Amino acid sequence: MVAMQTLILNSVDLQRIVSHVGIDDLMDETIRRLREAFVGFDPKSCITPQRTGFHYSSPPGLIEWMPLFQRGSKVLMKLVGYHPECPTRHGTPTIVSTISIYDTSTGHLTSILDGTFATAIRTGAASAIASEWLAHQDSRVLGLVGCGAQAITQLHALSRLFEFERVLVYDVDSNVATSMMARATSFENCLDVEVTSLQEIRTNADIICTATSVQINSGPVITLTGCKPHLHVNAVGSDFPGKTELERDFLLQSLVCPDFPAQAEVEGECQQLASPDQMGPSITDVAKSPGSYRQHKARTTVFDSTGWALEDWVAAELFVEKANELGFGQHTEIEYLPSDPRNPYDFLVPAKLPV
């Protein structure tokens, strides 16, 4: 029986990888690979069922899983916990996540790693790529509505593909908005962010990223009447039935491109649309022929980003590759492989007992 080792990438390994590769190179590589993944996406060979899970109310929270099957290769399973009372009750983050990768030739768990950092990186990368295809090519002003963790990677990723002159930020919590500058210093090309009003963002931005934790049925987080005629919005916060960030009227006038249409209809901005024909092409449709959608750069466009396992796959694979290249992570044999597959008690033979 051959040994089957699992790569365990702990949080220190992850830091070492980021530090060795460099956060800018890491983001560039994620963008490059994710763009390729969008272009090459084939729903026959890459199957991504909608996320499902357990939701509960006391204390409020959920644990969901997002599986992906790359035919003839791997299964990825991202587990995400969302527990909004955690920071105050337990001193732990609201969102905690792990990614497990399984080999479909053997069923073996090949790797396990953190999923929160991968999610932040890939969510930023996805918005940057969507903006490349849908936003005005001379976009100079970025608006960020919501200044939490996701805003950092939105800003970082978009800065890799656009040369912004101004970054306007707003958060319902003004302390969060003002602390944005101090948090956005780890990457290159970082402009001073300007804490401002929704009104300023609406009238000046070429691209807006909404990344809020808006409550269910409390949207929109920004009205967009009077925005630039070519405004592109990356709507990142909508990920639950009833949780939306944009006005329905703005969606109706815009080309709305979901990441994962079946999910966006239920959990994304697209849930505000009456029928699928009001939705635009998916991001992978755009990817396959960006030229066909170039004329839409002149009008308002929306990337409805609900979060997709394909994106997790790209980020997780990158981390695992880098870990293997750099020799980071631990390898251990989690699965018990009896020498005699017909005897589960094989290891009780005295000669085989560990000391």
Neighbours of 130 (CB within 10 A): 26
Which residue, 95 or 257, has its beta carbon nearer to a second copy? 95
Nearest residue to 259 (alpha-carbon basis) of 209, 212, 316, 307: 307
Element of type H or E holding 150:
helix 149-161
Provide the terminal-to-terminal Cα distance of the chain, rounded to the nearest Å.
Answer: 21
Q: Contact, 107 vs 74, CB < 8 A?
A: no
Amino acid 224 reads L
Cβ 290 to a second copy, closest distance in Å? 28
Nearer Cβ to a second copy (76/134)? 76
What is the Cα–Cα distance from 102 to 352, expressed in whole angstroms?
Answer: 28
Question: Closest CB to a second copy among 249 and 340?
Answer: 340
Q: Which is nearer to a second copy, 327 or 341 (CB)?
A: 341
Smallest gap from Cβ 20 to a second copy, in A, equals: 10
The smaller minimum CB distance to a second copy, of residues 72 and 291, is found at 72
State which residue, 49 or 276, has the beta carbon closest to a second copy. 49
Instruction: Provide the minimum distance between the beta carbon of 52 and a second copy in the complex, in angstroms, as a whole number.
Output: 8
Please work out, in degrees rounded to the nearest 5, the angle formed at the alpha carbon of residue 34 by the alpha carbons of 30 and 38: 175
Shortest gap between Cβ of 347 and a second copy (angstroms)? 5
Instruction: For 234, list phi and psi in degrees, rounded to 5.
Output: -95, 105
Smallest distance from a second copy to CB 54, Å: 4
DSSP string, 176-207: HHHTHHHHS-SSTTPPPEEE--HHHHHHH-SE
Closest approach, Cβ 96 to a second copy, in A, equals: 4
- Give the torsion sign (CA, 22, 23, 26, 32): negative
